[in-house]
């Protein structure tokens, strides 16, 4: 492994010490290149030599060569001293060697320990001939202690090293050849430059590093810090798994905190355990954060944070830099997006998405969100910035959110969803009792504008809506937020404490409660509560339509304003209370003015209280005002009661107060313009004509005036006068003539046989 061969520096020292440890047993095979070692040299005699060389070969190839400027042995034979030494350990094939240089070393024969107090330099892969193809690995340290019995090498001094793809330093090191474990004791700094063309170097810092050749793992304790470009992970202990001794395969960081600074955004993350996987080029490929996992992205467009028990992130390799491509959050997952610092972003709402599992996909470049989905039931909350906006909460079994430029939400889709919309601050100022609006449906689809504000929401299949006393339902509904208008389609129904309306399609203004119902519209208007200062008997809103009874209506189209105070029926319009009804092309009811207007083929029907007889009036137009209890009919008026009809151009019908106790709803009817009053009885027929006629149902009296009044009676004959008054329930007839004229009458002769 080129990038970590510096870890074997103590192995080379071990070999050097081993050579000295076996010096006595192999001295017969020694040969001196310049001057042979005197045969008198032994561990128990005083011995010295200069420009000393020693070597060992095998199969015709050099294995080890040792050079020393001087060699001395103590008089007691317990210590050997070498100065200015160079040890060469040849590779297989003999084309290169590893070189160790040191100012001096001591070997103690009593405990078989080697100590090099000065600085030692180790250089790896030195070519025997020519210049090296790359920078050679070099290690420098001092104070090396070696135990030839155990093979363990230890230094408590500073260690520095350089190699083809990095460098580093530490304080104190130890190597155990039995376990092939290297310990760098403290103040460890390792700089890996990276091997691949797209690879970026990594700086490893830790309090203690343990390298295991068997497992190819680096263990960093009790703290660690890994820095790669603009990315840094700080943690408690960490494990780095190497691949083929050259590249990082993965990293486990306990209690990790990471940061990734880019020109247009910053990524922060933390978790109890961070697991990072690298690709073959040494670029971060995946990151899994487990336990209290958090991920936060800062950009001018938005501040987006993710949290959950686990966050799994996938990265794209873009020119050797890891760019976030996707993330999955599981276990109490949440994604919160707050407005950024840009002028456009400050107008957006804060959005908080919660679910057990959330998927997030980024746009190319990793700067902006492309899509967020939930894989379990969840909620999406919109917290408004400006006071005019509404706080909204969406709940659904599944959600899919698509984003546009600048991390602005553009569409939303949910299944088995429900919404809650709170009154805005401005709404509360205008109406302190403003209620929360609730909806539900099988599916929800929403669209947003360039600033991320909701523009339209469509809810389909089994739609339900509640806001205070107001309720609605339909197969589907569409909300336009700019107009605050809800359109209900197919089987639409709305209701409140004043009544209900059903139709094929209903458009409802959520702010005012006004609605427009189209297609087979049917309404029910409930009686209003009796005011505290009135009794039920004294309360009278309209004598035409009894306000103590529910009022029902139908038409092709019905519109309502002011909480059902002004209702307009158009197209085959009918309004009724029990047997009393009005039919017309159009009917308008103004409950504030206590007025009713009907136009086009008007037919009104009123039932007497006791006799249950009907008064039916047909005309082209009717206007009723409750202040004088007057209904004015115009255009081909046809007024009829049992056995009596009145035809005229116009007719004014005055209604009895409902508290009067009288049977008939009509107090009197005044007809004008080509008046014709016909009475049909089993034994006679009366026809009265005039320009003006008056009919009094309670008195059964008819008065004809103007235009030469005339009464044609099949039984009594014809009568003319300035004013004719007759009674429909007896034979009485009063004729008044003008002062200059006399009344005329023509009596029919009575059949003598019938009068006997």
Q: What is the pLDDT of residues 156-174, one digit of tens each?
A: 888 887 866 678 899 988 8
Q: What is the Cα–Cα distance from 122 to 53, expressed in whole angstroms?
A: 19
Tokens of residue 519, six digits: 């297609």
Task: Over range 458-478, report the average pLDDT.
Answer: 94
From the list 556, 580, 575, the residue with the least C-alpha distance to 564 is 575
Residue with tokens 């016909």: 678
pLDDT score, position 359: 94
- Per-residue pLDDT, averaged over 519-526, amounts to 92
Instruction: Tell me how far apart the alpha carbons of residues 708 and 646 are, in angstroms, rounded to a whole number.
Output: 17
| Half-sphere exposure (Cβ direction) of 50: Cα atoms closer than 13 Å | 0
pLDDT computed for residue 260 by the predictor = 80
- pLDDT of residue 30 exceeding 50, the answer is no
- Cα–Cα distance measured from residue 647 to residue 636, given in angstroms and rounded to the nearest whole number: 7
What are the CA-CA distances from residue 569 to residues 62, 119, 461 (Å)? 112, 105, 28
| Minimum mean pLDDT range among 199-203, 304-308, 443-447, 678-682 | 199-203
**String of b and e for 251-265 (b: at least 16 CB within 10 Å)?**
bbbbbbbbbbebeeb
pLDDT at 310: 94
CA angle at residue 633 from 627 to 638, to 5 degrees? 140
Average the pLDDT over each of 152-166, 461-475, 567-581, 702-716 and give the range with the smallest value.
152-166
H and E: helices and strands count for the chain: 3, 45
Residue 271 has pLDDT above 60, yes or no: yes
| The two structure tokens encoding residue 586 | 């159009």
pLDDT digits (tens, 9 = 90+) for 420-438: 988 887 777 777 778 899 9
User: What pLDDT, on the 0 to 100 scale, is given for residue 148?
Assistant: 54
**What is the share, in percent, of the chain residues with pLDDT greater than 70?**
82
C-alpha distances in Å from residue 27, one per residue of 16, 20, 23, 100: 15, 10, 6, 21
DSSP 706: S
532 pLDDT tier (thresholds 50, 70, 90): low
> Residue for token digits 């088995």?
416
pLDDT at 738 over 60: no
**Domains in the chain, CATH or no CATH each:** 608-755 (2.60.450.10)
Work out the pLDDT band at 37, boundaries 50, 70, 90. very low
Does residue 166 sit in helix, strand or coil? strand
| 47 or 564, higher pLDDT | 564
Per-residue model confidence (pLDDT) at position 264: 66
**pLDDT computed for residue 689 by the predictor:** 96
pLDDT confidence bin for 39, thresholds 50/70/90: very low
Q: What angle do CA 260, 265, 271 make, to 5 degrees?
A: 40
Give me the pLDDT at residue 388, please: 62
Reduced 3-state DSSP string for 320-361? CEEEEEEEEEEEEEEEEEEECCCCCHHHCCEEEEEEEEEEEE
Residue 35 is predicted with a pLDDT of 38
Give the integer Cα–Cα distance in Å for 131 and 134.
9
Is there a cis peptide before residue 222, judged by omega within 30 degrees of 0?
Answer: yes
- What pLDDT does 389 receive? 73
Per-residue pLDDT of 51-65, as tens digits, reads: 878 787 888 788 878
pLDDT of residue 445: 95
pLDDT at 597 over 90: yes
Give the per-residue pLDDT at 169. 92
CA distance 744 to 736: 10
Which of 91-100, 327-336, 498-507 has the weakest average pLDDT? Answer: 91-100
Q: What is the pLDDT of residues 667-683, one digit of tens each?
A: 899 999 999 999 998 88
What mean pLDDT comes out for the span 297-314? 84
Would you state the pLDDT for residue 413? Answer: 95
Asked whether 16 and 8 are in contact (CB, 8 A), the reply is no
Has residue 534 got a pLDDT over 80?
A: no
Q: What value does the mean pLDDT take over residues 231-247?
A: 84
Distance CA 227, CA 363 (A): 26
* Share above pLDDT 90 across residues of the chain, in percent, rounded to a whole number: 39
Tokens encoding 658: 């409902």
Q: What is the pTM of this model?
A: 0.71
Token pair of 679, please? 């009475």
**Average of per-residue pLDDT across 332-357:** 78
Hey, how many other C-beta atoms are within 10 angstroms of the C-beta on 599? Answer: 19
Distance between CA atoms of residues 655 and 651, nearest Å: 13
Indicate left, alpha or beta for 158 from its phi (over 0: left) and psi (-120 to 50: alpha). Answer: beta
The per-residue pLDDT for 3 is 35
Higher pLDDT, 633 or 749: 633
Nearest to 94 by CA among 127, 136, 67, 135: 127
Average pLDDT over residues 544-563: 85
CA pair distance 718, 688, nearest whole angstrom:
10
Q: What is the pLDDT of residue 745?
A: 55
Q: Which of 21-35, 237-251, 272-286, 535-549 has the highest mean pLDDT?
A: 272-286
Q: What is the pLDDT of residue 301?
A: 63
pLDDT attached to residue 29:
37
* Residue 13 host element (H or E): helix 9-21
What is the rounded CA–CA span in Å between residue 330 and residue 412?
21
- Mean pLDDT, range 727-752, rounded to an integer: 65
Tell me the C-alpha distance between 82 and 161, whole Å: 24
Helix (H) or strand (E) run with residue 16 in it: helix 9-21
Asked if the model's pLDDT at residue 497 lies above 60, the reply is: yes
- The residue among 271, 279, 284, 278 whose CA lies nearest residue 311 is 271
Predicted local confidence at residue 537, as pLDDT? 46
629, 661 in Cβ contact below 8 A?
A: no
Average per-residue pLDDT in the chain?
Answer: 81
pLDDT of residue 725: 94
In whole angstroms, what is the distance from residue 303 CA to residue 336 CA?
Answer: 8
Highest mean pLDDT among 151-165, 264-278, 656-670: 264-278
pLDDT of residue 126: 87
The 8-class DSSP code of residue 45 comes to S
Name the region of 563 (left: φ>0; alpha: ψ -120 to 50; beta: rest): left
pLDDT higher than 50, residue 751: no
Q: Which of 117, 105, 248 is nearest to 190 (CA)?
A: 248
Q: Which tens digits make up the pLDDT trace of 326-343? A: 999 999 999 888 776 655
* pLDDT number for residue 71: 78
Q: In the numeric block, which tokens belong to residue 256?
A: 């990790």
CB 728 within 8 A of CB 700: yes
């Amino acid at each position: 492994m080129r990038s970590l061969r510096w870890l074997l520096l103590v192995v080379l020292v071990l070999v050097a010490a081993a050579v000295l440890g076996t010096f006595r047993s192999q001295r017969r095979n020694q040969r001196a290149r310049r001057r042979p070692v005197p045969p008198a040299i032994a561990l128990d005699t005083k011995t010295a030599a200069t420009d000393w060389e020693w070597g060992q070969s095998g199969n015709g190839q050099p294995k080890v060569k040792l050079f020393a400027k001087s060699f001395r042995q103590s008089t007691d034979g317990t210590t050997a001293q070498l100065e200015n030494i160079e040890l060469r350990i040849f590779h297989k094939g003999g084309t290169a060697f590893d070189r160790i240089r040191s100012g001096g070393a001591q070997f103690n024969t009593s405990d078989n320990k080697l100590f090099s107090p000065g600085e030692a330099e180790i250089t790896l892969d030195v070519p025997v001939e020519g210049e090296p193809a790359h920078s050679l690995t070099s290690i420098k340290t001092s104070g090396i202690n070696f135990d030839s019995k155990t093979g363990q090498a230890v230094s408590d001094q500073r260690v520095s090293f350089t190699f083809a793809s990095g460098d580093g330093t530490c304080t104190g090191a130890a190597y155990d050849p039995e376990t092939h474990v290297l310990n760098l004791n403290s103040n460890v700094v390792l700089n890996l430059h990276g091997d691949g063309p797209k690879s970026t170097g990594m700086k490893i810092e830790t309090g203690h590093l343990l390298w295991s050749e068997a497992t190819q793992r680096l263990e960093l304790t009790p703290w660690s810090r890994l820095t790669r470009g603009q990315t840094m992970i700080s943690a408690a202990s960490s494990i780095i798994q190497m691949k083929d001794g050259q590249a990082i395969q993965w990293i486990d960081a306990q209690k990790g905190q990471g940061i990734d600074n880019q020109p247009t955004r910053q990524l922060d993350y933390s978790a109890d355990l961070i697991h990072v996987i690298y690709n073959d080029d040494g670029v971060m490929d995946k990151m899994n954060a487990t336990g209290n996992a958090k991920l936060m992205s800062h950009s001018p467009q938005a501040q987006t944070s993710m949290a959950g028990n686990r966050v799994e992130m996938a990265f794209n390799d873009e020119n050797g830099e890891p760019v976030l491509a996707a993330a999955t959050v599981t276990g109490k997952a949440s994604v919160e997006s707050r407005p950024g610092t840009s002028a456009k972003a400050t107008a957006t709402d804060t959005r908080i998405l919660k679910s057990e599992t959330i998927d997030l996909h980024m746009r190319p470049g990793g700067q902006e969100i492309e899509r967020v989905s939930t894989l379990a039931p969840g909620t999406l909350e919109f917290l408004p910035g400006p006071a005019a906006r509404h706080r909204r909460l969406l709940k659904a079994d599944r959600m899919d959110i698509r984003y546009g430029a600048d991390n602005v939400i553009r569409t939303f889709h949910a299944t088995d969803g429900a919404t809650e919309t709170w009154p805005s601050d401005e709404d509360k100022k205008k109406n302190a009792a403003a209620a929360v609006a609730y909806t539900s449906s099988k599916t929800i689809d929403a669209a947003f504008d360039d600033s991320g504000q909701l523009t339209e929401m469509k809810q389909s299949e089994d739609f339900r809506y509640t806001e205070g006393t107001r309720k609605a339902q339909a197969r589907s509904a569409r909300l336009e937020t700019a107009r605050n208008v809800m359109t209900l389609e197919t089987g639409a129904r709305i209701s409140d404490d004043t009544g209900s309306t059903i139709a094929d399609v209903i458009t409802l203004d959520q702010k005012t409660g006004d609605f427009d119902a189209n297609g087979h519209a049917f309404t029910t208007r409930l009686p209003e509560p009796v005011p505290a200062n009135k009794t039920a008997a004294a309360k009278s809103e309209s004598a035409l339509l009894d306000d103590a009874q529910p009022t029902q209506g139908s038409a092709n189209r019905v519109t309502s304003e002011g909480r059902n105070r002004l209702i307009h029926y158009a197209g085959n319009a009918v309004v009724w209370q029990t047997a009393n009804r009005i039919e017309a092309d159009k009917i308008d009811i103004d409950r504030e003015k206590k007025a009713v207007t009907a136009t086009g083929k008007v037919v009104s029907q009123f039932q007497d209280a006791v006799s249950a007889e009907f008064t039916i009036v047909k005309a082209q137009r009717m206007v009723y005002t409750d202040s004088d209890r007057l209904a004015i009919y115009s255009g081909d008026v046809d007024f009829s009661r049992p056995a009596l009809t009145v035809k005229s151009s116009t007719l004014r019908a005055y209604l009895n107060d409902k508290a009067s106790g009288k049977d008939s709803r009509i107090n009197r009817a005044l007809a004008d313009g080509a008046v014709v009053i016909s009475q049909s009885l089993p034994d006679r027929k009366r026809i009265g004509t005039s320009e003006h006629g008056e009919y009094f149902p309670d008195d059964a009296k008819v008065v004809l005036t103007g235009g030469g009044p005339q009464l044609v009676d099949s039984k009594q004959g014809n009568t003319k006068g300035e004013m004719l008054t007759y009674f429909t329930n007896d034979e009485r007839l009063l004729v008044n003539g003008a002062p200059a004229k006399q009344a005329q009458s023509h009596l029919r002769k009575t059949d003598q046989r019938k009068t006997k």
